[in-house]
Amino acid sequence: MKCLRLLTVALIAVLAAGCAINPALKSDCDWATTIRPSKDDVLTRKTKEMILAHNEIVRRECGARR
């Protein structure tokens, strides 16, 4: 029973730590950037579409500077 209680406390601590917020990051735009594949990357059509969609969202939400 003591082991179960210890395990429960440890699990709660680990899960709570995953919710920590870095105060330096005020918005998603502080860390989100466009994806720039290397010219040597071999991409499928679907991967290219996904990268394009991601980059369009970053530019729309964070501005053209990204």
User: Based on the structure, what is the number of domains in the chain?
Assistant: 1
16-25 as b/e: b if 16+ CB within 10 A: eeeeeeeeee
- Give the per-residue pLDDT at 41: 93
- Give the per-residue pLDDT at 35: 93
Q: Which 8-state DSSP code applies to residue 6?
A: H
Range of the domain at 51: 24-66
* Interval 7-59: pLDDT, tens: 888 888 777 766 666 666 677 788 788 999 999 999 999 999 999 999 999 99
Does residue 33 form part of some domain? yes
At residue 5 the predicted structure's pLDDT band, cuts being 50, 70 and 90, is confident
pTM assigned to the model: 0.57
Does residue 28 form part of some domain? yes
- Give the per-residue pLDDT at 29: 83
Does residue 36 form part of some domain? yes
Does residue 7 form part of some domain? no
Does residue 50 form part of some domain? yes
Does residue 44 form part of some domain? yes
The sign of the dihedral angle between the CA atoms of 29, 32, 38, 42 is negative
Does residue 15 form part of some domain? no
